[in-house]
Chains A and B, each alone.
Chain A
């Protein structure tokens, strides 16, 4: 039986106007999984439900530990970064790090010092003095110094400039080599193209796709049609009007050009909208 880094089964959260609908997926050890979907699709709700920051139904296992039964031990294995580090803006990084270290029996002070040096973090600085990029790096330094084997990151690259995003992607790839699994949500699909092994695609709280990135990209091609009837005849998916006519996804491996992840998302969402 495979031991997954993260095993989510029938995760459900009901709000008055939104339902996260019995979501199930896994992330393997050393795998980088990208969680994508439009605004309000349920990405943050999923990540927060996994971390028990919100109450939800279903089962979550981290390296075989039941998260709900064995909450503290499970959290020890996880490094959670909810966006940038928005906490305690008036506290110095050293105070926060010292406090966090108390919670982890495997806290590695030497590793923390190494990450701080690598990320150019000045521990005497206060959180409010850090840029968005540096806040994320501080979160990562905290998460990595307690030996997290699974990183759960909620839109970690949204406030970062291209160079910082590149650094962030490099960091993820180096963690992957060390066997750390990563689940991160993002709108910036170019980051996923660079680092993700698999894509978990949410739409309106439901799982639309959960498969390796290569398979998802290879399944669809983007084709331009001169008319809507031509698109319909070709059974194009998610057809929408564009400058040069109509555009849709086709599954014919020789039709059109290779679609990007953004284009796949746009047309799959269009197709879903048409169905409803």
Chain B
């Protein structure tokens, strides 16, 4: 398929293809991070993760509407604030869900799957009642849309760069939080030995709630960021959920490093396979590769030595 092109054209294509792999990586990573915390660290299978992402996206939509109505001059900058709002709103809802529902189910991980599926139905229908069944589109600032032309035929999408940058920041923040803060220490202790942690004075319930809230908050950031590349509708979240789980499972659940590695691997596989195969076949091939990899190495890329509980 490459005959008849100059070396320069091919070079541009390969650079862009490399970048699209990288931007897919950042998308998967952003989806997976929140889940890695909730599922990987706490063992809760949050099927409503996608709906938290949709909540983040709707937050951006609301912010966009409010900004353009009351403070149009703020238009170019509101997006950054909207992302922060999305984090806090999702975290708040997450904490509420944890308090009402999840905390009663920690000892039954498979049941969290069913209960959160029910939650996702309710949230989806809620979005449909509040925002209408149709998709909505927030007005995005101009600086975010469009491309940066390095040279003729070599365009780098700005929103891709933005999502990549955001995912790096979120990952770094989460890593610092997990491995360098007091809370992170408590969380890791709770995951490794809940009873013992309680005995040495860690308020494990509080730790759980905060961890769940942060996981949901990160989902909100992801959803907010995805308004630049995808759709915002009642069922937008459900499009991401399987991919997000595969990233986390592929990474070996208990380590953030594994999550990063598996997001990278899956993104590159999908990006390359979609380039050489077409459309649906590329996606099927990617999923097959992941499933077979998991069959061969069920612990994932970076298995944990210590299991929770």
- Chain B binds chain A: no
